[in-house]
Structures are given as structure tokens and as C-alpha cells.
Amino acid sequence: MNPVDALSRLGQPKVLVLGDLMLDQYTWGSTSRVSQEAPVMVLQVDSREHRLGGASNVCHMLRVLDAQVTCAGVVGSDSAGKTIIDLLNAAGIDTQLVLKCTDRVTTQKERLVGRTGSGLPSQILRVDTEATGEINSTTEADLINQLRQQIPEHDVVLISDYAKGVCTHGCVQAAINTARIAGIPVLVDPGRDIDFSLYRGATLIKPNRKETEAATQATIDNPPRAIQAGSDLCQQLDLEMAVITLDSDGMALVPRHGPGQVYATKARSVYDITGAGDMVLSVLGLCFGGGLCPEDSVQLANVAAGLEVDRTGVATLTRNEIMAELTAERNSLRKQVTVSQAAQFAEEYRRRGKRVVFTNGCFDLLHVGHVTYLEEAASHGDALIVGVNSDTSVRRLKGAQRPIISEEDRVAMLASLACVSRVVIFNEDTPHHLLQQIQPDILVKGGTYEPHEVVGREIVESYGGQVCVTQVLAGVSTTRIVESMQTNQRLLRAG
């Protein structure tokens, strides 16, 4: 089935998520001085934020995807546990299977994030509070009893194991066996360093490349090996299928009976895998619960994973966002951004040690000279952002008869070039505002300029950036093309 049609036919499946519930706390601030008490930076706190993590993040992702969600897990009798329950309830997630336990703390991860003089945030420290031992037998028995009662009321069961002690052998096997009897699929995202035999009998297991290699003692460096490893897991664990996520190589769907297939993912300018595993599990759960076939489910999960890694940190996605990615007829729909989005893109890229290149122009009547120049500009870094003068700006600069091509079409043509990462329209006569917001590492201009003559040079050099002038293709320019066209028209009229 067409992925667009598959997504369109999904209803609101009832999903039960069993797993380790976590609270992520972010403390944001600025760092400008060293403490007098110790050789450490002082974080001047601006704000704090709580987010759902672990299995509770899967619940949140599913709820944003418009599923009906029941959360099953354990929290401590502490403020962090209360916050998790409050956040789940606020999101419209059923918390009747979230049990409070007095003999363990709620898993909490606090990240201290500071902004330096450059304005770029970076994580200074992470503080973990957690209990990793298995839940006590009384809590386990209570959870098993409630799972057996509630699972038949759902369309799919997800097990999100973060190896924090909730996914005991008793709980996992009770969930799998109950679901099997009821004809309900069970999808597992395995815990790190966990013996996969814990998940025997599940419908599907979703390990990543490293986890699969550890479980099968095989190296996965090409698609056939991924498919063979998935087949081995299915046979060993009595699974119906395995989905192996292969980071930038996409994911492999391997049924127990029949050939496997690797689904490639679209190359992304930013690649942050944080949250990608949870997103894949969430979309697979949504699709299996909605009755889609495995092939359609994996295709949609693959698209969602690509969108997730294109963003920094853990992010939720809506069905509309996935649909927009599926239905985009031109890459320009994703590459065209606002000034603030371009600045965020550049910031995310620099945080990964990458170099951002910027160039700008009217790009009216895109020709081979433009393409050659843009390819050379892109070669100076890892991502190229192109600023395009708006129609209004071009008229001020070139006269009332220009531009010949509208800004929408100029952007679409630029975005179709593989060397261009992002395109942003600006209405000013100069790119000064863009440069101040984006702060590229390198400003490139094509022509016979000297570097000190490039417009915006002083802004880029003020924060340590570089200016580069590339060669132009002799004899090719928009002005000459227009003059040639006008000459030909005059000759035709005269003839």
C-alpha cells in the first residue's frame, strides 16, 4: 500500500506501553565565570524543564501521534514520580497501571546546560538518580495481575526496556503470553546488555545494530548480514519478525518466514539519534495497533526516524508532519526555512563540529555558472545555506523588469541542488541580518571581488569567521543571458 494511504487509514488504536519510566530534567542557564570554591564553572540558572523519558517518552510520542495510550510501569513515592504521573495525565495518557513503590527511587536524569559567551548551549553535567535492581516481588505480582486484566482491552502491547528493573522475566512473559492468547501483537525494544531470551515469543523485536551484533555474535556491515542476523533472532527467540535499526543505513525488516528487506533512509543534514529508537517503536506500535502490514509499518517508522534525527534532542512528531514528509513533491518543501530555522540549523550543525558555509544572491535565471559556484562554495564546509533576495529586493537592486523568475521558483530550483542544505529568503538589500543570526563559519561570494570587498565581511570576521571568494565561469551571467534574449526578440520582430 502507498505509505500516504497507509497513514491516512490509521484510526486511534489502543496501545499499552510497559517499561521503565523516567523523568528528564533540564536546568538551563549561562556560564561566564569560574567558582572561587573549586575549578568548576558556575551555572547561573535561568529556567528548569521536566520532560518524560524512557517508556513514558514512548507513551508521550504515541499520544502526540493520536493513539489511545495506557502506561504500565513503576515510580517511587517521591516528587519525581509524582511529576511523571502529572505529566502523563496532562498528556491524556491512562496511568492506572503506573504503580508507586516505596522501596525504590524514581529514575531521574538531570542535565545542566549552560550558554557561554557565544550563545551556544552545551551540556555541562548530567546527574542520574536511579534504582536498577528488579522491582520487589509484591510490586511485580501486582503489576502482572493488572497486565493480565488490561492487555486484552488493547490493540497492541509495547515493551520499552531500559534495564532499570521493571521488565522482569515474570512481567515480560506475562505480557507476551496474555497478548498471544488474545491475538494481540507484542513489540519489544530490548534493554542494553540484556539476554534477549527474556523476550521469547514476542511478535517483533527492534534492536539496533550494536545490540543485534552482541546478541548474534555477528558483524553487521552490509544488508545481507543484517537480514541473516534478523533471521537468526527470529529462529532463536520464536519471533514472528525482527526490525533491526541500522542508524544512517535505515532499517531491516526480517520475517521469520520469507525474505527480508532493508529500507534506506533519506540523508539528513543534521544527524542526532537521540530519541530515534523511541520514535521507531512508537510508530511501529501505532501502525501494528492500527492493523497495517509490517512492510507499511516499517516504511512509516523509517520516515519518522529520519525526521527525528533531523532535530536536536528528543522531539515528538504529529501525523501531519509525517504526512508532509511523505507528500512533499519537491525537496524544497523541507529545505526552505525561515531565518530563525536557518539559525537553529547552523547552531545544531556547529555543535557537532561541522562547518557551515553561507552565500547569497538573486539567482535569477539559474545557470551553469551559478551551479558551479554553489558546488565550489559547498566544498568549503559541511553544509551550505543559501540566502536568496526576495522579489521586492531584486526589483530594488536590478530594476522593475526583474526578477524574471519568482522567488518561489528560484528557491525551488536552488533546493533541488544536492550541494544546497537550506535556502532562506531575505527582503533586505544586504545579507547583514542573516549573517548576524546564522553566524556561518565561512562566507563565500563568487566574482572578481577582493575578500575585503565582500558585503557582510565585517560581521563574519567579528566572531572569527572566514571570507572566501570563488572564481566565476567566464562568459556566463544572468545579465548576458537576458541581453541575448532581448537581442533575439528584436531580430525576430525585425525579420
Residues annotated as catalytic (active site), given as ranges: 278
492: burial class by Cβ within 10 Å (0-12, 13-18, 19+)?
exposed
How far, in Å, CA of 456 to CA of 462, rounded?
10
How far, in Å, CA of 271 to CA of 49, rounded?
24
C-beta atoms surrounding 437 within 10 Å: 14
40: burial class by Cβ within 10 Å (0-12, 13-18, 19+)?
exposed
- Tell me, rounded to whole angstroms, the distance of Cα 80 from its chain centroid: 27
How far, in Å, CA of 20 to CA of 162, rounded?
6
Q: Are 147 and 179 in contact (CB under 8 A)?
A: no
> Interior CA angle at 144 toward 138 and 145, to 5°?
90
**C-alpha closest to that of 446 among 367, 352, 393, 382:** 367
3-class DSSP state of 96: strand
Phi, psi values for residue 473, rounded to 5°: -80, 115
Q: Are 160 and 278 in contact (CB under 8 A)?
A: yes
The beta-carbon contacts of 222-226 under 8 Å, at least 24 apart in sequence, are 223/249, 223/252, 223/262, 226/252, 226/254, 226/260, 226/262
Task: State the Rg of the chain over Cα.
Answer: 27
